[in-house]
Amino acid sequence: MAMEKKNEIARLKSKIKRLSSLVDVNEVISSSLDVDTILENVMTISKKVMNADASSLMRIDPQTNELIYQVAQGSVGEKLKKEVRLKMGQGIAGTVAEEGKPLLLEDAYDHPKFFRGNDEKTGYRTKSMITVPLKVGDRITGVAQVINRLDGKPFDTDDLELFQALSSMAAIALENARMHQSLMEKQRLVKDMEFARTVQESFLPQQAPEVRNFSFSAHYTPALEVGGDFYDFISLDVDRTGIVIGDVSGKGVPAALYMAKLGSDMRTLAFTEKVPAAALARLNDLLAARSRRGMFATLLYLELDANSRTLVMANAGHLPPIIKKADGSVARLAGAGGAPLGMLNGMKFTQESVTLAPGETVVLYTDGIVEAMNAREELYGYERFEALIASSPADPSVLKKAIIDEVNRFTGLSPQHDDMTLVCLGALK
């Protein structure tokens, strides 16, 4: 009787000691963000508490769906780490990873799936073994294993229970590390995009051009960090200024990259081609030759001659400019004189011209303005836009501010759906 009690006390003491190892593991997990260190320490503790000769942890490589050694402790650990990769269902570890159920073996050699090749290569004799899946919810991320009890006895169900508890903590450490890594990658991407935004902003004119008898004002806000809207002012000579506004299909990074190429090609062609329609025809062919995924751009190119006050306009599928006349009335100018750029090689474009009287202002814009949407999913629309232009002062910078303020008031707290660009140019009185 006394003997039995003694044994019982010894067993409980051992249980307490083993359970307290869980607390140690918990501390290890929260002590570092370095997954290699954490898992190495978790498996060291596991090996010690389980009284095992070897321990290992394999994780599933999401790219190949194979098991690779993350930790391998024991006399042949390093060799295993370098040489072994297991497919799902292959060997004991592959079977546990595939089926998601723990496996307790008194002698591994009795299991048909056990692969003796590693033992033969290393001279090691695997006997008793526990293999448990590492799970996050229903998702299996790897397996953990202990091999051969040091006292020579096979592992029992108490051992299995404890090892499952230890391994569930290793699974948490592995998942934390994965989430930490993905968070770091996201943060890097956010920083890259912020940087890209400043690079893209540098493509836009840093100030309005100074042209005799005319004044200019422009506004640009992308819906995402970077966008596919753009505008440019190009000083062609003392009297002539090129004015560009465009909108690349789609949004975000692809649109921004397309816009960068388009903007620089446009700048070159503004100098080399004689008239706006010819510049658009050349630009169209350049873009169509490198077409990807059907991307295209609508673009309006205007050449202003400050001396004669004429504005020559060529429109590739873009929204028509709106003129505010000296008497306050508004009208739409050059409608599209050709299809958007980059769709099809060999397109032709027409051009129109208008002479601007003193006090007249021309408004160029992208669809992000007229299609701005409020919380009730109503579009800002031409009616409001043209009424506002008619009732606002003709001065380009005042008019620009009035339009942007009103569009922002209209959309309220609704997120911006599309890039918004606005260019106003006015003939001074």
Partner 1 sequence: MKVEIITEKISAGTVVKLIGDVDMNTSPDVRTSIAEVFKTGGSKALLINLSGVRYMDSSGIATLVETMQNCMKQGMKLRLVEPSPSVRDVFELARLSSIFQIFPSMNDALNGI
- Between residues 229 and 395, which has the closer beta carbon with respect to partner 1? 229
- Residue 347 engages partner 1 in binding (rule: CB under 8 A): yes
Angstrom distance (rounded) from CA 15 to CA 234: 81
Question: Residue 209 or 335: which CB sits closer to partner 1?
Answer: 335
Q: Does 340 bind partner 1 (CB under 8 A)?
A: yes
**3-class SS at 268?**
helix
Q: Is position 284 an interface residue for partner 1 (rule: CB under 8 A)? A: no
Picking from 327, 337, 334, 338, the residue whose alpha carbon sits closest to that of residue 310 is 334
Q: Is 294 in the site for partner 1 (CB under 8 A)?
A: yes
3-state secondary structure 310-328: EEEEEEECCCCCEEECCCC
Applying CB under 8 A, does 226 fall inside the site for partner 1?
no
Between CA 236 and CA 211 the distance in angstroms is 11
Nearer to partner 1, 317 or 426 (CB): 317
CA 102 to chain centre: 38
CB atoms inside a 10 Å sphere around CB 76: 15
CB 58 within 8 A of CB 94: no
Q: How far apart are the C-alpha atoms of 276 and 240, rounded to whole Å?
A: 12
253 binds partner 1 (CB under 8 A): no
Establish if 251 lies at the interface with partner 1 (CB under 8 A).
yes
Binder to partner 1 among 94, 276, 338, 396 (CB under 8 A)? Answer: 338
Please say whether the beta carbons of 219 and 422 come within 8 A.
yes
Q: Which 298-327 residues touch partner 1, going by CB under 8 A?
A: 298, 317-319
385 vs 372: CA distance, rounded Å: 11
Piece of 93-101, 279-287, 336-344, 397-405 that binds partner 1 (CB under 8 A) = 336-344
Which span (141-149, 182-190, 291-299, 404-412) binds partner 1, by CB under 8 A? 291-299
Nearer to partner 1, 260 or 336 (CB): 336
Q: How far is the CB of 292 from partner 1 (least distance, A)?
A: 8
9/344 with CB nearer partner 1: 344
Of 189, 180, 233, residue with least CA distance to 211? 233
Residue 274 found at the interface with partner 1 (CB under 8 A): no
Beta bridge partners of 231: 245
Q: Does 343 bind partner 1 (CB under 8 A)?
A: yes
Q: How far is the CB of 255 from partner 1 (least distance, A)?
A: 9
To partner 1, the closest distance from the beta carbon of 58 in angstroms equals: 36
Phi, psi of 139 (to 5 degrees): -85, 130
Q: Which helix (H) or strand (E) holds 257?
A: helix 252-272
CA dist., res. 60 & res. 73, Å (int): 18
Question: Which residue, 395 or 419, is less far from partner 1 as judged by CB?
Answer: 419
Q: Are 419 and 372 in contact (CB under 8 A)?
A: no
Question: With binding defined as CB under 8 A, does residue 199 bind partner 1?
Answer: no
| DSSP per-residue string spanning 274-339 | SSHHHHHHHHHHHHHHT--TT--EEEEEEEEETTTTEEEEEEESPPPPEEE-TTS-EEE----SSP
* Among the residue ranges 20-28, 97-105, 160-168, 332-340, the one whose residues contact partner 1 (CB under 8 A): 332-340
Nearer to partner 1, 342 or 426 (CB): 342
Indicate whether 257 belongs to the interface with partner 1 (CB under 8 A).
no
* Of positions 275, 326, 336, 428, contacts partner 1 by CB under 8 A: 336
Interface segment toward partner 1; rule CB under 8 A; list 63-71, 102-110, 194-202, 331-339:
331-339
Of 287 and 302, nearer to partner 1 (C-beta) is 287
Residue from 83, 59, 58, 89 nearest 72 by CA: 58
Query: Is residue 337 close enough to count as binding partner 1 by CB under 8 A?
Result: yes
Q: Per rule CB under 8 A, is residue 364 in the interface with partner 1?
A: no
User: Binding to partner 1 by residue 291, rule CB under 8 A?
Assistant: yes
Task: Kindly list the residues in this chain that would bind partner 1 in the complex (CB under 8 A).
Answer: 247-251, 291, 293-296, 298, 317-319, 335-340, 343-344, 347
